[in-house]
Amino acid sequence: MKNTMVAAVAAMLLSSTAVSAVELEVTHWWTSGGEAAAVAELAKAFDATGNTWVDGAIAGGGGTARPVMISRILGGDPMAATQFNHGRQAEELVEAGLMLDLTDVAEAEGWREAMAAPGMLDSCTIDGRVYCVPVNIHSWQWLWLSNKAYEDAGVPVPTNWDEFVAAAPALEEAGKIPLAMGQQPWQSSGAFGVMAVAIAGLDTWLAVNRDKDAEVAGGPEYAKVFEAFGKAREMSAGSNVQDWNQATNMVITAQAGGQIMGDWAQGEFQIAGQVAGEDYTCLPGLGVNEIISTDGDAFYFPKLDDPEKEAAQKQLASVMFSKETQLAFNLKKGSLPIRKDVDLAAANDCMKKGLAILGDGNVMPSGNQLLSPDTSTQIEGLMVEFWNDTSITPADAQAAYADIIASAD
Ligand code: GAL
């Protein structure tokens, strides 16, 4: 009798003290296999707080998703949280006063002290206030190679960009495409940026992307980059896919030798059951200049004028930055954790390479941190046009590029 009475009282107390679950709609563009597995870890962590993650995945990549996100926020139909790339993509929304200030959470939880690359929090900070929670470090600076494609072609797996270019004829002989590339503009534009750092060097890349020096953009070092980019265009002839993960799948299935892509490609290799170092090889900095760029993702929280939702938004930001969530999410995403106190013992060979480079301080900013969204979009448009129109010469493309940099902000 007694136990039943105690159980009844406990149930009553629990029901009377239970806080009502708050539903938060979260928008993002993570729709590939690896990305979906990773974002599910964020959702699971938030649901575990008793609140509810309402998933708002938008297919088609960031270039499609961001205009939808921005128009909803500006149009008075905001979501509760949304992904942007880490950098300047949401700065106009913040400056318009539309985004929630997270400084109290960031300070209470010591985000800046916990950051693996403290400068990254600067990209969330405007006028001394913090407006986003960075969730990963996703470096663009990688070349992913199919070990089987090179085995099939009877040539060794390349250890750097020059060897990759030299091996291309053997791959073509074996009926394979040397370089996989999808048609979304950000893909060829991203590959150009990685090649610029490897071929022209970091200082020259910074002169153009940080200092907006059009002379350098139109000069001899970048002429070498555009020549190599023209060669890369030839090596991807026949790569008729749209999405980045379809291009990654060409490498996974040994139809292509390699892909220049950010380390989110790892999520696809993992979902396919492939093992770093055995099935695929990763060359940071194209094997030329081992470096990590602080590309990545961050979540921003539109103001909703609802105290209960605002409390839940801050709880979501806190959950995203927590050690447990950082481990679960980044292992699935293939990215490096945003905080330095996460034990990545389970990291694969490629993630360990990235962590070592990060630990050595060979870190560079991302284009998204240095260039305005408008300038980035102009560069993407030029690069995808060059990629698809072989009548445009490397010299033509470089001249147009120098003009964009001349008016870059
Ligand atoms: C990037 C994003 C990555 C990755 C990629 C492909 O912008 O930072 O997380 O998912 O898009 O969708």
Token code pair at residue 185: 């503009």
Q: What's the chain's Rg over C-alpha atoms?
A: 23
Single out the residue of 123, 161, 128 nearest to residue 366, CA to CA. 123
Q: Quickly tell me which residue has 């060409």 as its tokens.
A: 250
21-137+295-354 folds as: D-Maltodextrin-Binding Protein; domain 2 (3.40.190)
Task: Work out which ligand 1 atom sits closest to the CA atom of 267.
Answer: 10
Instruction: Quote the CA–CA distance of 272 and 291 in Å, as a whole number.
Output: 26
Domain ranges (residues) in the chain: 21-137+295-354, 142-293+364-406
Within this chain, domains 21-137+295-354 and 142-293+364-406 share the same CATH topology: yes
Residue 110 has pLDDT above 60, yes or no: yes
Single out the residue of 185, 191, 329 nearest to residue 259, CA to CA. 191
Task: Work out which ligand 1 atom sits closest to the CA atom of 296.
Answer: 8
* CATH of span 142-293+364-406: 3.40.190.10
Q: What distances in angstroms separate CA 117 from CA 104, 132, 321, 331, one per listed residue?
A: 20, 15, 14, 18
**What value does the mean pLDDT take over residues 82-111?**
97
Cα 264 to averaged position of ligand 1 atoms, centre (Å): 7
Residue 20 has pLDDT above 90, yes or no: no
Percent of the chain with pLDDT over 70: 95
Give residue 128's pLDDT band: very low, low, confident or very high (50, 70, 90): very high
pLDDT tens per residue, range 229-253: 999 999 999 999 999 999 999 999 9
pLDDT tens per residue, range 171-223: 999 999 999 999 999 999 999 999 999 999 999 999 999 999 999 999 999 99
The pLDDT value recorded for residue 9 is: 55
Cα 191 to averaged position of ligand 1 atoms, centre (Å): 14
For 169, residues 6+ apart whose C-beta sits below 8 A from its C-beta are: none
Task: Report the nearest-CA residue for atom 3 of ligand 1.
Answer: 264
Token code pair at residue 30: 């993570």
Instruction: Quote the CA–CA distance of 141 and 364 in Å, as a whole number.
Output: 10
pLDDT higher for 10 or 222? 222
Residues in contact with ligand 1 (CB, 6 Å cut-off): 29-30, 35, 61-62, 85, 138, 244, 264, 297
Q: Quickly tell me which residue has 């250890």 as its tokens.
A: 159
Other beta carbons less than 10 A from residue 393's beta carbon: 13
pLDDT tens per residue, range 129-174: 999 999 999 999 999 999 999 999 999 999 999 999 999 999 999 9
Cα 215 to averaged position of ligand 1 atoms, centre (Å): 31
pLDDT tens per residue, range 312-368: 999 999 999 999 999 999 999 999 999 999 988 888 999 999 999 999 999 999 999
